Amino acid sequence: MRLVVLGSGGREHAMVRALQKGGHEVHWGPGNGAQGDWFPLPDAYNLEKLQALKPDLILVGPEDPLADGWVDKLTEGGLKAWGPTAAQARLESSKAWSKQFMRRHGLPTADFAVADTLEEAQAAIRQLCDHRGVVVKADGLAAGKGVVVADDEKSAALAAQELMAKYGRLVIERRLLGEEASWILLLRPDGFQALPLARDHKRLRDGDSGPNTGGMGTITPVESPFPLEKLGRDLFAALEQEHLNYFGALFVGLLFTSEGPQILEFNCRLGDPETEVLLESMPGDFLQALYGHPLPEWQGCCLDVVLAHPGYPETSSPSMRIEGIPEDLTVLQAGTRRDQQGQLWTAGGRVLHLVAHAENYEAAREKVYQAAQKITFDGKPAHYRTDIGTQLDLAGHL
């Protein structure tokens, strides 16, 4: 089949690689420094050029083009797309709408209130903040910068003031304690296929310290402390009732608490960097899985360590020369560009994903961390976490 992947991160590189493994002709744009290895597609968000290519399917990776209605545009333009329409992507692009959807269908999630003014936000904080604190969320897409977990009413009120000024509408949510995991469903109008649980590591430094990032590494599988089959069925029934069971991925951010799994958020796309480990260890054809073909049993453990620019998450300047990429490991590119001489440079905060699939986490860690030491940005080591693949227990606190 002739396929197009839209996007330019490590997730899209993983999608391209998985589709290519299935023997398909894969075009990719806007892409990054890895793109030369595939059929490049510069000027990717151009309907006429996409129509001229006559692809069998276009897979839209990132949240922004989905929220902007790219699937609607492609479909209206006579093309077949994988991803939600803008209306369906509201599950991700509006936290208020998404929480109200969960409440309408009795799906397990923390108690919350929607606030359109600072006064409403302050009243909700007083009502929902307890000894654990409270969570303040911007309603719209905020590239990972729209959520503040506040320890007390005072810091929550400050966060509300800042976020309200920027985003205009907030969700104030009771704070729950537990362990987070990422659960991705491949949705179709007539059913879904759940992928194994994965775990992201959002903080910049070891031991979950430092600022929040887009994700510094992932592992899969991790064992769920609770069965998830009923939650999957209830969720699909709720989506079906509201015509949200689109052809695309639904990322369910879960929190495992003493009361069972709670839904933290939905993202209407594959996770990044979850996709890097899920597709690298997927035991069958990715494209067939999208169409509902059952996958054989998953084997082994897969781990992704992100190599980041030393200024990340504040800055990704200056661009630095990348050297030492090994041949014997899967290296997925994210914030990279290639110059005319073929030299690779950093061009973003999260630069490379080093991915290993092995019989256990110890073996995967050894492969990845050996390679990480050899890769340099301007002759110096990159920043990466050294503890990915050591926190495997989601039930320890229960």
| Binds ligand GLY (CB under 6 A): choice among 267, 281, 333, 336 | 267
Compose the 24-63 pattern: x for residues touching ligand GLY by CB under 6 A, - for all others: ----------------------------------------
| Binds ligand GLY (CB under 6 A): choice among 55, 261, 271, 313 | 271
Residue number, nearest CB to ligand GLY = 271
**Residue whose tokens read 């692809």:** 55
| Binds ligand GLY (CB under 6 A): choice among 33, 61, 196, 215 | 215
| Contact indicator for 193, 186 with CB cutoff of 8 Å | yes
| Binds ligand GLY (CB under 6 A): choice among 173, 200, 276, 304 | 200
Which runs of E-coded beta strand occur in 258-395? 260-267, 301-308, 322-323, 330-333, 336-338, 344-346, 350-358, 376-377, 380-381
Total number of residues that touch ligand GLY (CB under 6 A)? 6
Cβ atoms within 10 A of the Cβ of 79, count? 19
| Contact indicator for 317, 335 with CB cutoff of 8 Å | no
Residue 7 found at the interface with ligand GLY (CB under 6 A): no
Nearest approach, Cβ of residue 300 and ligand GLY (Å): 21
Paired tokens of 341 = 């001489």
Beta strand 380-381 with 376-377: parallel, antiparallel or unpaired?
A: antiparallel
Q: Nearer Cβ to ligand GLY, position 157 or 304?
A: 304
Residue 276 found at the interface with ligand GLY (CB under 6 A): no
Nearest approach, Cβ of residue 274 and ligand GLY (Å): 6
Q: Nearer Cβ to ligand GLY, position 72 or 200?
A: 200
CA 316 to chain centre: 20
Which listed range, 16-24, 44-52, 128-136, 265-273, lies at the site for ligand GLY (CB under 6 A)? 265-273
Which listed range, 226-234, 235-243, 264-272, 347-355, lies at the site for ligand GLY (CB under 6 A)? 264-272
Q: Nearer Cβ to ligand GLY, position 183 or 345?
A: 183
Nearest approach, Cβ of residue 392 and ligand GLY (Å): 18
Residue from 352, 351, 188, 199 nearest 271 by CA: 199
Q: Nearer Cβ to ligand GLY, position 245 or 275?
A: 275
- Rounded Cα–Cα distance for residues 249 and 252 (Å): 10
| Contact indicator for 268, 89 with CB cutoff of 8 Å | yes
Residue 9 found at the interface with ligand GLY (CB under 6 A): no
Cα–Cα distances (Å) from 174 to 90, 108, 177, in that order, read 22, 13, 10
- Give me the helix-helix angle, 274-281 and 10-21, nearest 10°: 10
Residue 221 found at the interface with ligand GLY (CB under 6 A): no
Nearest approach, Cβ of residue 327 and ligand GLY (Å): 28
Residue 65 found at the interface with ligand GLY (CB under 6 A): no
Residue from 309, 351, 308, 359 nearest 332 by CA: 351
Q: 157 CB contacts (<8 Å, ≥6 apart)?
A: 121, 122, 125
Nearest approach, Cβ of residue 203 and ligand GLY (Å): 12
The binding site for ligand GLY (CB under 6 A) comprises: 200, 215, 267, 271-272, 274
